[in-house]
Amino acid sequence: MRIYFLIMYFVLLLGPSSVVFGQKTTITKDEALEDLEIFQYKLEKYASYLKLRPVNLGYKLDSLRAFLPQEVDLIDFGQELSQIVIEMGDAHANVKLPEFVSNRAHPVPGYLPFVTRQQGSKIVALHYSCRKPLIAEYPYLKSINGIPIKHLLAISGKKYYYQSLPRFYRKSAQQLTYIRHVLQQVNAENGDELKIVLTNFKTDTTITRQINDKRPYFYAFPKSPKTGILDNNIAYIRIDKMYDRSKVEELQPYFNILDAFKEQEVKNSDGMIIDVRNNHGGKRHILMEIFGYFIDKPVVANIAISRLNEFTGLHRRGLYQASNYKWSSEEKLAIEAFKKNTEIDWVVPRNDFLDPVFYMVLSNKRTSFRYTKPVIILMDERNINEVDIFLSAFKQLDQVTLIGMPSSGGSGRSKSFVLPFSQIKITTSTMASYQYNGQLIEGKGVQPDIIAEPTIGDITGKTDSQLDKAVELILQQQ
């Protein structure tokens, strides 16, 4: 009996099967058809960016239905759904396989023997320590096994292809780490050997390395200084996350940031630098608390239009309809001015969305003084979600200058649902979100006033040219 169970164990573990540890890895065609019905219904009901791009959902699903086998593999099924979701260009959209299947879907092991980092549209090849380029004289990656870098990025970043360019380059550079998986998709794998061409855009060099079995760890640079007063009486405030005041574990850093703005030496500074680089988002609480220090009358910071069937929770983002009782007379004037003077650049399909627009209006009701000196905000391509809102709000102020790289552009209040038979989890945005000037955030992000691409020294943690640029600009404005 013991031998029988051992044999069955290895059959399940090693042999082809539709069951993994008691869980089905396939569903029937009829079950897949039921899931597709729910998938289509949910997207058409909730997905705010379904019609942002020309995605013919009905046609794609009909094509998928026509070629379903009698037994549908969950990984294949998930990949088909993922391709449809990807084409919406929704930064929050995602397709997640159930855990008992997802382990099989992971890319095959085999990693780059170096770290890749985005520099604008270029990819820097770094030593594992991230403290220096792989080869100092040739810092940029040109090709691997004869495949040009732009083609490799199109493969590694295909999930992000329809999103903003900053997000595409950042994510595709990260995913290039799974080099064996990437090369297999273009039949360019050569065992464990990698023929790597590096360049400085004047001359090239070719090196040979072996695929690594250990995934490299990426360190985020530059390492920012601590919040405080820099030379020349310039206040520096680091916001590394949009902390959530409803979470006990985030209360301390949240209040540390708020308290920094109240320090007497900050009030008396001759300029201020707010650094949100490498900040991926969180909640809007910090923006709501500090923005009043920089304005003397209310302004519209963000507007949102919600899908018909999903408008709960907008107030937690500071979003209310124009008719809401909470607005003061000055805030109502700000809303009326926005409606009169601003056109949104993507008009949503009105049959799919609520008619009222929701407004985020920021005022100085919560602050005790007005900061009037020059303000620089440092930003980068890792900024997304609530940081997009933060950057957009500050960009409209005359005393503020945004320096760095364009943000990733993603704002949509995500919602998830699980398909009953496949247990695949689908996530999608449920609102369209706009900047203060009416421009859609999704897929566009916030543009800096001054583009400042990080240098190789910045990327390796030796310098911080963006911070230096901010200090220089404040000194010029004094």
The predicted-structure confidence for 180-203, as pLDDT tens digits, reads as follows 999 999 898 888 999 999 999 999
2 pLDDT band, cuts 50/70/90, is very low
| Residues 6 or more apart in contact with residue 10 via CB below 8 angstroms | none
Tell me how far apart the alpha carbons of residues 256 and 57 are, in angstroms, rounded to a whole number.
47
* One-letter identity of residue 66: A
On whether both 272 and 193 belong to a single domain, the answer is no
Q: Rounded mean pLDDT of 320-324?
A: 93
CB 180 within 8 A of CB 189: yes
Does 356 fall in a domain? yes
Amino acid at 61: L
- Secondary structure (3-state) at 123: strand
Which residues lie below 8 Å from residue 288, measured CB to CB, with a gap of 6+? 318, 362, 366
Closest Cα partner for 114 from 126, 103, 129? 126
This prediction has a pTM of 0.91
> How far apart are the C-alpha atoms of 222 and 117, rounded to whole Å?
12
Asked if the structure places residue 277 within a domain, the reply is: yes
Tokens of 122: 């270029």
* DSSP H/E element including 51: none
- Amino acid sitting at position 425: K
Q: Distance from CA of residue 13 to its chain's centroid?
A: 37
Helix (H) or strand (E) holding 115: strand 115-119
- Identify the three-state secondary structure at position 298: coil
Q: Cα-Cα-Cα-Cα dihedral of 458, 406, 271, 290, to 10°?
A: -120
Q: How many CA atoms lie within 13 A of 251 on its CB side?
A: 4
pLDDT tens, 64-111?
999 999 999 999 999 999 999 999 999 999 999 998 776 666 677 899
| Domain end residue (candidates: 56, 85, 105) | 105
Do 234 and 93 reside in the same domain of the chain?
no
222 prior amide bond cis, ω within 30: yes
What are the distances in angstroms from CA 334 to CA 90, 297, 322, 330, 372?
A: 30, 9, 10, 6, 21
Separation CA 307–CA 349 (nearest Å)? 10
- CATH number where 315 lies: 3.90.226.10
Q: pLDDT tens, 452-464?
A: 999 999 999 999 9
Do residues 363 and 447 share a domain? yes
Of all residues in the chain, the percent with pLDDT exceeding 70 is 94
In-domain check, residue 219: no
- Residues near 109 by Cβ (< 8 Å), separated by ≥ 6? 180, 213
Q: Does 422 fall in a domain? A: no
Digit-coded pLDDT (tens) for 419-432: 999 999 999 999 99
Domain count along the chain: 3
Domain residues for 22? 18-105
And the tokens for 112? 């780059």
Band the pLDDT of 14: cuts 50, 70, 90: very low
Please check whether residue 174 is in contact with residue 216, taking contact to mean a CB–CB distance below 8 angstroms: no
- Of 7-16, 61-70, 254-263, 468-477, least confident by mean pLDDT is 7-16
Q: Does residue 344 belong to any structural domain of this protein?
A: yes
- As a whole number, mean pLDDT of residues 305-324 equals 85
Whether residues 38 and 81 share a domain: the answer is: yes
